[in-house]
Structure 1
Amino acid sequence: MHAEAASEQSSLCFSLLSFRRAGGIKVQLCGFLQYANIVGVAIGYTIAASISMLAIKRANCFHVEGHVNPCHISSTPYMIIFGVAEIFFSQIPDFDQISWLSILAAIMSFTYSTIGLGLGIVQVVANKGVKGSLTGISIGVVTPMDKVWRSLQAFGDIAFAYSYSLILIEIQDTIRAPPPSEAKVMRRATVVSVATTTLFYMLCGCMGYAAFGDNAPGNLLTGFGFYEPFWLLDIANAAIVVHLVGAYQVYCQPLFAFVEKWAQQRWPKSRFITGEIQVPLVSCGFKLNLFRLTWRSAFVVATTVVSMLLPFFNDVVGFLGAIGFWPLTVYFPVEMYIVQKKIPKWSSQWVCLQLLSLACLIITIAAAAGSIAGIMSDLKVYKPFSTTD
């Protein structure tokens, strides 16, 4: 999808006619939330990628020095490395030109999920039984209040796993015209992708807890529940990094396109914004735009700096998942469906949909509260740019 098409369609928000009739306030609110959440996703991905790169270094250190060596390493250099890579890839102009990167990212996701699941199963077999319980971590290992906060945060972590809903419209717009129709293709793709994602994530989460019980790390592949085989952990974490490089671009392209289209409309005669420079060193005839280079690089730098200041993966991810889940995945789609199907107000179907939306709102508020509590707890002991134990 070209930048113009991405910015015009930009999000699920602009497809709701009733919101336009209401003066566009809800359209603007939806757009703001979508783009703000994309910024948050970029920060979360930067943190996650740096943790995986750091895990590769520490796994090798543990293998050589032994598990008693704390292997203190700072995550800051790895965030900078990830940021530099994203500056390079962010110069790809259009959404449809990163399809190869998206495919590679999907393959990497399948790779590290399979490795994590396999290691969990092997550990359960080695333990000759399942650890943990149906009620989760035991009181005593954590306080009752900590258990409540962690349970609420988990809802946010789960919601973050389905943040793809932010860019469903952009993905749909890259599909060719019928036959078959875009709606049918997206319906089938969504069912398959959600089912596959849910299956793998639930298996990985359950097997990780079954393998380690109360001592289960927040991240199965970077929390060092597993130390060996270190080379397999290296492969899994490398796959995570490659996956996140691609995912970062897939999520940020709509925001990039929106800002660039707005700038072109605001200053149509500016050569800095609209002019392109042919780059002769690239065989495919790549054209460099100075505004694109400046704006996208600044965006990556800003998200990288924020990531350095808040490198709390689980808590940050839980918060981002919470604040984006209800408005963008539930509320606006439900309102669109009601308008599209012309569902009468106070009918049984309308009431059920509103109850669903209300239930998800309660979950969102609870998950956000749990994640904020986790972040506040982390900030009490955190020192910026310090090494990681």
Structure 2
Amino acid sequence: MTATAPTALAELEAFAAGASTPDPYPIYARLRAESPVVWSAPLQAWLVTGWAEVTRAFKDAATFGPLSSGAGSSAIYGRTILHMSGDEHRRKAAIVARRIRNRRELRGTLRERISALVSALGDELPAAPGVADIRAGLTTPLPLTVIAELTTMHEAVNFPQWYHDLAGASVSNVSRDPAVHARGVAAREEIDAWLDPAIARKRADPGDDLLSDLCTVEYEGQRLSDTEIKSNTAFFLAAGIETTDRALVNLLGGLVRHPEQWERLRAAPDLVPSAVAEVLRWKAPVQGSVRQALVDASLGGASIAAGEKLILLLGAANRDPAVFPDPDTFDVGRFADNADPQFTPVGPLRAFGGGEHTCSGSLLAKLEVELAMEHLLDRYRRLSFAGEPPVDAGFMLRSAPDLHLLLHP
């Protein structure tokens, strides 16, 4: 008797449960073609793979909203701007936007600080042909230091571990692993304890940083509560790092595997913004986002009951051939004429969500990856893997766990 091949849904459920899948994109393609919205009993969620359906779930705020509790949610942080909607979301998100989406800041103070940090980290990389642990030496410490400085959390010696434990206990913990969740809870408690005196100081003597903004701004005539400040600060610590870190790992890995694309960038450095947008499409570092139906709804031919969870598979949507021609090809020039819109709500890229919940930190992530890439392109003629090529891992957050490269100045 011939064994029946597993369905795309069964393969994806196994992948979500931890099965090693070196390339999930063929599974996404099959599921997107067969059923772009399908119920998964093991995940207790609707899996959404089509670009049109993912986009509607982000933009139709009257029908679909943030998931605030349960497995795979961001409840570990408490109530943050991620869980808000309407006027409250717009006005409180603006607190963050004026610090990390302000074009003047991005061209001025933030750019200068990130450039200096990239240079300092780059100085520690080999000046002669040699092996470097790029993730430990550049891709993680760069965004980690930037967001920690913005929230003044760099003053806390434990902030790198807090970040690691919080990120692990959030949306990537779709199976609600109790040990992972417990570490996240412990990290939140430690962050809250550290923030108590920090909030008091910032209220009395605010500085030029995001934590001071949160401590002094008013909404409807009242300042944010200490609880709300703590929740959002914890969320920014984790969310401000994952995309940049993993995008850089995925971009560098892609360029090593496709050396002709590295040569294109060296010959035309103005393509760097396009390359950043392309890797966010081709290998989205954040592969999924969770939502819930606010009312009974129909999406992609499926009938969804109010309260049911949806997992929007951004990695699948970003390879939908109806929107992105030749979607499996890594092309650093794909967005040569329209890179900037991909980091805003108007672009088709779904790496940063969509609608009013488009990630507030998208422009900051763009700047960090661009400056890091410009530094590497200027300094090194060629990159190659040091040993066996790394294998990507992760369902909701995906990249190689580490990246050791041989750098050739």
- Return the TM-score normalized by structure 2: 0.26
| Larger RCO: 1 or 2 (CA < 8 Å, sep 6+) | 1
Greater strand content: 2
- Return the TM-score normalized by structure 1: 0.27
Greater helix content: 1
